[in-house]
Amino acid sequence: MITTVIFDFDGTLFDTRQANCLAYQEAFRRCGLRLSRDAYYGFFGKKWSDWGPSLAGKRAQRIHAIKQAIYPSYLDHIQPMRAYTVLVETFRHTHTTVLATNASEACVRAVLAQYELNFIKEFYGVDFPDRRCMLQHILADMSIEASQALMFDDSPDNIAIARSLGILTHHVRPLTISAEEQHPFGSI
């Protein structure tokens, strides 16, 4: 029997691509660098530590700090994935709901507060070397077997990891990017 439902954040509960892209572009600009939309979208959903330092070099720490500080000003560019945010609220009454994300805690908390979405537990990728370790920790922390968990995620890699652990999964299909989303302010 499923007792715990695990949700990813970016691309599953919320479409945060544009907000993250704009915030990172501004942070890069403030540090004298440029980040194209296409370059950022290629890294979307991955930990900053896995891609930021290779692009920003010695300015990486400063860029990330700026991005986190200015991110709340871009919250109006976030779109909830209504079908899945409703599922969180629905499952919350009958199951333990868990958030598992590589997004930064400060940014996630700002979005969750704006949309009044709550979880029993939250786990952030910065605390774990990889998604497998995070999921194993969640199972141990919740004192459940993998067969008691259901995970919603948009990453095929995360889905494969969860399945290899015995977690039931639902693959949230990747978002498509409309022409308007690609260039909401003209050429970026």
Considering the domain architecture, whether residues 70 and 92 belong to the same structural domain is answered as no
Considering the domain architecture, whether residues 127 and 37 belong to the same structural domain is answered as no
Query: What CATH code is carried by the domain that includes residue 91?
Result: 3.40.50.1000
The Cα–Cα gap between 153 and 135 comes to 12
The Cα–Cα gap between 106 and 32 comes to 25
Looking at residue 188, its pLDDT comes to: 34
Looking at residue 181, its pLDDT comes to: 42
pLDDT one-digit tens code per residue, 24-78: 999 999 999 999 999 998 888 778 888 899 989 999 999 999 999 999 999 999 9
In this structure, is residue 30 part of a structural domain? yes
The Cα–Cα gap between 175 and 128 comes to 26
Residues of the chain scoring pLDDT < 70 = 174-188
Considering the domain architecture, whether residues 37 and 11 belong to the same structural domain is answered as no
Considering the domain architecture, whether residues 11 and 21 belong to the same structural domain is answered as no
Looking at residue 182, its pLDDT comes to: 39
Looking at residue 106, its pLDDT comes to: 87
Looking at residue 125, its pLDDT comes to: 84
In this structure, is residue 47 part of a structural domain? yes
Looking at residue 93, its pLDDT comes to: 93
Tell me the pTM: 0.84
Considering the domain architecture, whether residues 57 and 97 belong to the same structural domain is answered as no
In this structure, is residue 93 part of a structural domain? yes
Looking at residue 173, its pLDDT comes to: 84
Looking at residue 178, its pLDDT comes to: 45
Looking at residue 129, its pLDDT comes to: 87
The Cα–Cα gap between 84 and 152 comes to 9
Could you list the residue range(s) of the whole structural domain that residue 95 is in? 4-15+80-171
Considering the domain architecture, whether residues 27 and 66 belong to the same structural domain is answered as yes
In this structure, is residue 54 part of a structural domain? yes
In this structure, is residue 66 part of a structural domain? yes
Provide the CA 135 distance to its chain's centre, in angstroms. 15
Considering the domain architecture, whether residues 68 and 88 belong to the same structural domain is answered as no
In this structure, is residue 132 part of a structural domain? yes
Continuous segment of H or E residues that includes residue 171: strand 168-171
How many folded domains does the chain comprise?
A: 2
In this structure, is residue 186 part of a structural domain? no
Considering the domain architecture, whether residues 44 and 107 belong to the same structural domain is answered as no
The Cα–Cα gap between 168 and 162 comes to 7
Considering the domain architecture, whether residues 126 and 50 belong to the same structural domain is answered as no
Considering the domain architecture, whether residues 54 and 147 belong to the same structural domain is answered as no
Considering the domain architecture, whether residues 39 and 91 belong to the same structural domain is answered as no
Considering the domain architecture, whether residues 46 and 138 belong to the same structural domain is answered as no
Out of 38, 53, 76, pick the residue that ends a domain: 76
